[in-house]
Structures are given as C-alpha cells and as structure tokens.
Amino acid sequence: MRPNLLLIGLAFAVFPLCAIAQTQTKVLSGKDLNESALIDALTPSHTRSLKVDHALALAHQVSASLLITFETNSANLTPQAKHSLDTVGRALGADQLAPFKFSIEGHADPRGGTELNQRLSEHRAQSVRRYLVQNHRIDPQRLTSVGKGDKEPLNETYPAAPENRRVTFVTIEPWETQGQVAP
C-alpha cells in the first residue's frame, strides 16, 4: 500500500492542485446567480485561519466565476450583464463581503488570437469594475481588474464554449480602511 501513497504524492507534485480545483469550477449564471450564492462562494471559511500548505490553500481559493456577456469583440456590457452585475453589487455590499477586497479576472476563449484576447479580457474586467464602482458605489480600492486572456479555459474540449468567456471574482485579502483592517 505504501507505493500507492507514493504515487498519489507524486501525482500532486506533477499536477498542481490549483489545476485540479479549476476543473471543478462552476460558472454562475441565470437563476444560479444570486446574492446568497455569491456571498457563499466569496466568503472565506474559518478554516483559512489554520496553518495549511501553500499549494493546498491555492487549491481552495475563494472565487466565483460568472457568465457576464459583452457585445461581440467589445467590452460593452449587455443588458443581461448589467442585471447580473446588479446582483454582484448587492452581494459585495453585504455585511459578509464588506471586509474584503476582490480581483476581477476577465477570461476569453481562444478565438481572435492571444494578443487580442489578452487586451479584450483586460478591458472587460475593467468594464465590470467600472460598472460596480459607478452604479453600486463599491469603493474602487476594494476592486482590482486583471485580464487573463485565453490562458485558463474551463472547457478545453470546446474552446468556444461560453464558460471560457467569463468573469471571475476572487477574494484576495481583507480590506484596510484608514489603517485599520475591516472587521
């Protein structure tokens, strides 16, 4: 039995835990995208305060992927996207999420070329950030935006799948206000 444990250990060394976690990501959209689901997905659990292996902590990163739609080849939000972001804005304003900062990651499918997809994903993440700041008065210091391009598809079998064109919110750290960490 010991050789099997060794093989399992080697598998985790060869295949990063964060890649394993990524394959299990669910993209929230439609009726699944609600304030309660977002709060649950983005609130760090109490077990995070325990000392854990860094790779294991990365595998359990607190995030929520959303299907946010844009006009073709643009960063302009569709009416459905604005409706979804209104839900996000309310969730980010909730007491459970108020103490945290978030990274907004824009993702693209591989159509259009790597360089174009990188720029487009950056602009889309910035568009989402701008909407939340302007329409929901989320403090801009709580939100950063980053474009991931087409480097992290959720559906590698079907590259043009909608879930590959998504926005992911990642809880990155407690939000500090006036030199104090928010409660």
Q: What is the residue type of 131?
A: Y
Higher pLDDT residue, 50 or 17? 50
Q: Contact 136/92 with Cβ under 8 angstroms?
A: yes
Residue 109 has pLDDT above 50, yes or no: yes
- Please report where in the chains the tokens 């444990």 appear, as a residue: 5
Q: Which of 8-12, 38-42, 148-152, 175-179 has the highest mean pLDDT?
A: 148-152
What Å distances lie between residue 3 and 9, 16, 43, 75, CA to CA? Answer: 10, 20, 38, 52
Whole-number average pLDDT of the chain:
78
For residue 112, what pLDDT is reported?
87
Average pLDDT of the segment spanning 46-50: 42
Helices (H), 46-113: 54-59, 79-92
Going along the chain from its start, the domains and CATH numbers come out as 16-177 (3.30.1330.60)
pLDDT confidence band for 62 (50 / 70 / 90): confident
For residue 83, the model assigns a pLDDT of 94
* Residue 144: per-residue pLDDT: 97
Q: Determine contact, residues 77/131, Cβ cutoff 8 Å.
A: yes
In the prediction, which pLDDT does 164 show?
Answer: 87
Tell me what pLDDT residue 32 has.
84
Place of tokens 């359990």: 60
> What per-residue confidence (pLDDT) applies to 69?
83
Amino acid at 139: D
Question: What is the pLDDT confidence band of residue 50, given thresholds at 50, 70 and 90?
Answer: very low
117 pLDDT higher than 90:
yes
Interval 93-116 mean pLDDT: 93
pLDDT tens digit string along 123-168? 999 999 999 999 999 999 999 999 999 999 989 999 888 888 899 9
End-to-end CA distance of the chain: 47
Closest CA to 74 of 33, 110, 28, 108: 108
Going by their DSSP bridges, the two strands 100-106 and 143-147 should be labelled as parallel
- The pLDDT of residue 176: 62
Share of the chain above pLDDT 90, in %: 46
